[in-house]
């Protein structure tokens, strides 16, 4: 019913409209999971994953619609600049959608004060920031956070971040190749992990949400942009194979454009990693 009320075609002439789609759908996902499962002793333990599943169901029509539309446009462009001009609106739409996810996740996670809502995401945050004692980290940050201690060389951290982000980009590419809109899982998962990190950074204070979003989105936007570009590359490549086969001349054009998009994604990952390691700590201690 929701996909008929808010049809993907209505967002064609304004990528910014996807921000409100993200806000609505992510809010519904968290509220519904909290409403139906928070009191269940078993299902509440899987709340973090059910939130992601609910949002995937809401978002799939948009991902599928955008990727199919982009593959058709991809057949008519030439060169690096042409590829970028053809797909930048889709990238902007994805970014607005993602930002809506992050803000809604962060807001409701803090407002509802349900530690289980993003429990798996909190574990992922701790695995990145305190891998030596994940359980203690999780206990520390469940609605009562302090800062993670421990110093790591900036060069080591940069390599670790780039390596992790490249792996995520590869998984995003594979998911989108297998199922054009399948990369939405990884993108929603990353939005929810960022929301858990924002909860930790803000010490679960609503007033500090804007600061927390700024803290993680300064370097998060280029990183997430890279994942969206990879998802777009995999999606148009997969649709190109299905529509034309590998012997058609148009398929090789789609392949060439997919490689260009992956090159853009790698550049964005490098930019995001450098900002996260060298600039974000200067702005947010």
Render pLDDT for 239-274 as a digit per residue (tens, 0 to 9): 667 666 666 666 777 788 788 889 989 999 999 989
Q: What is the mean pLDDT of the chain?
A: 78
Lowest-confidence segment of 60-69, 139-148, 160-169, 221-230 by average pLDDT: 139-148
The mean pLDDT value for 105-113 works out to 90
Residue with tokens 């777009």: 232
pLDDT at residue number 101: 93
List of long-range contacts for 204-212, beta carbons under 8 Å, 24+ apart: 204/110, 204/113, 204/143, 204/144, 204/145, 205/110, 206/107, 206/110, 206/111, 209/103, 209/106, 209/107, 209/110, 211/284, 212/106
Every domain of the chain and the residues it spans: 2-144+152-283
The predicted-structure confidence for 205-218, as pLDDT tens digits, reads as follows: 888 888 888 888 88
- Asked whether the predicted pLDDT for residue 158 surpasses 60, the reply is yes
The predicted-structure confidence for 57-105, as pLDDT tens digits, reads as follows: 888 877 777 766 666 665 566 666 666 676 677 778 888 888 999 999 9
Q: Between 1 and 106, whose confidence is greater? A: 106
pLDDT at residue number 151: 47
The mean pLDDT value for 99-122 works out to 88
Threshold 0.85, pTM exceeds: no
- DSSP per-residue letters across 247-272: TSHHHHHHHHHHHHHHHHHHHHHHHH
């Amino acid at each position: 019913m929701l996909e008929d009320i808010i049809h993907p075609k209505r967002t064609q002439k304004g990528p910014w409209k996807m921000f409100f789609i993200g806000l609505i759908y992510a809010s519904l996902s968290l509220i519904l999971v909290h409403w139906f499962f928070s009191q269940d002793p078993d299902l509440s333990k899987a709340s973090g994953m059910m939130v992601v599943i609910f949002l995937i169901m809401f978002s799939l029509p948009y991902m599928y619609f955008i990727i199919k539309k982009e593959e058709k446009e991809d057949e008519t462009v030439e060169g690096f600049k042409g590829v970028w001009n053809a797909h930048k609106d889709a990238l902007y739409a994805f970014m607005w959608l993602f930002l809506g996810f992050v803000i809604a996740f962060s807001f409701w996670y803090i407002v509802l004060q349900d530690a289980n809502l993003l429990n798996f995401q909190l574990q992922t945050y701790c695995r990145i920031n305190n891998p030596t004692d994940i359980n203690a980290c999780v206990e520390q940050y469940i609605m009562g956070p302090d800062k993670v201690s421990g110093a790591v060389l900036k060069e080591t951290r940069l390599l670790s971040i780039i390596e992790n982000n490249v792996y995520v980009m590869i998984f995003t590419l594979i998911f989108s190749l297998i199922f054009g809109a399948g990369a939405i899982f990884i993108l929603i998962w990353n939005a929810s992990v960022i929301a858990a990190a924002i909860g930790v950074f803000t010490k679960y204070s609503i007033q500090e949400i804007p600061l927390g979003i700024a803290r993680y989105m300064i370097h998060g936007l280029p990183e997430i942009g890279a994942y969206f570009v990879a998802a777009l590359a995999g999606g148009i490549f997969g649709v190109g194979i299905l529509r034309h086969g590998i012997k058609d001349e148009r398929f090789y054009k789609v392949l060439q454009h997919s490689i260009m998009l992956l090159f853009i994604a790698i550049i964005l990952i490098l930019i995001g990693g450098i900002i996260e390691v060298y600039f974000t700590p200067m702005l947010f201690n």
